[in-house]
Amino acid sequence: MGVDTPFPIAAKGMPGYDTAQVTAFLERARNVFEGVDDGVTSSKIRRTVFRLVKTGGFATKAVDEALWRLEEAFADKERAEATAEKGEERYFGEIRERAQEILDRSSRPRGEIFRTVSIIQPGYHRGDVESLCEDIAQYFQQRQLLSVAALRTASFRTSLAGYDERQVDALLDDTIAVMLAVR
C-alpha cells in the first residue's frame, strides 16, 4: 500500500480491482455518508462489482473487506435514520416481517425453495443452496449462530437444472440486510 493508494496493489500475476473504479466509488460513498451526495446505500455497496484488471489493480481481499466495513457503517446510519423517522417499534416490526418472509422461504421443502432453471441451463447446486437455507432458517429460529461474513462469502457449485441464481442471490441479500438491521 503506497502513500497515495488506499489499498495494496495485487501481487504480480494476480488480478486486482480497477483502481480508478474503486477510488471513484469510495469517494462517492464518502460524500454520501457525509451528506454531500446521495444514491449510495448499504444494499448498493453489497451489490457493487468492480472490473478485474490483469495488472496494477487493488488487491481484491483488501477491497472486499473495506466494502464490508463500509456496508456495515451505512447500515448503522440507515437504521438510525429509519428509527428516528418511524420509531423503533415500527422499524423493528418491519424488520420482523422481512425476517419472517426469509424464514418462510428458507424453510420450504427441499426442491421447492426456489425456482429451478431449465435442464440445459446452469444454476446453483440445489444441495449446496438447501444446506445454507437450513442454516438461515435455524438462525431465524434462534437455534444456530450465523454470521454476515458466512453469507457474504457463500459460494455454490453450479449444476444443470439448479436453482435460479437471481432468486438465491436476492434471498442472501435480504438476509444480510435483515441481519445488519438488527445487530
Looking at this protein, which amino acid is placed at residue 139?
A: Y
User: Which pLDDT belongs to residue 163?
Assistant: 98
Helix orientation angle between 165-182 and 126-140, rounded to the nearest 10 degrees: 20
Judged against a pLDDT cut of 80, whether residue 134 lies above it is answered with: yes
User: Which pLDDT belongs to residue 4?
Assistant: 61
Would you say how long the chain is, in residues?
183
Q: Over pLDDT 90: what percentage of the chain?
A: 90
User: Which pLDDT belongs to residue 183?
Assistant: 85
Please compute the mean of the pLDDT values over residues 136-150 and round it to a whole number: 95
In angstroms, rounded to a whole number, what is the distance separating the alpha carbons of residues 44 and 64?
Answer: 14
DSSP 164: -
Judged against a pLDDT cut of 50, whether residue 1 lies above it is answered with: no
Band of residue 3 on the pLDDT scale cut at 50, 70, 90: very low
pLDDT tens sequence across 49-102: 999 999 999 999 999 999 999 999 999 999 999 999 999 999 999 999 999 999
Mean pLDDT score of the chain: 94
Q: Annotate 67-104 with DSSP letters as a single string.
A: HHHHHHHHHHHHHHHHHHHH-HHHHHHHHHHHHHHHHH
Element (H, E) at 60: helix 60-86
- Nearest of 31, 33, 8, 3 to residue 19 by alpha carbon: 8
pLDDT tens sequence across 19-47: 999 999 999 999 998 887 788 899 999 99
User: Which pLDDT belongs to residue 35?
Assistant: 82
Identify the residue with better confidence: 39 or 174: 174
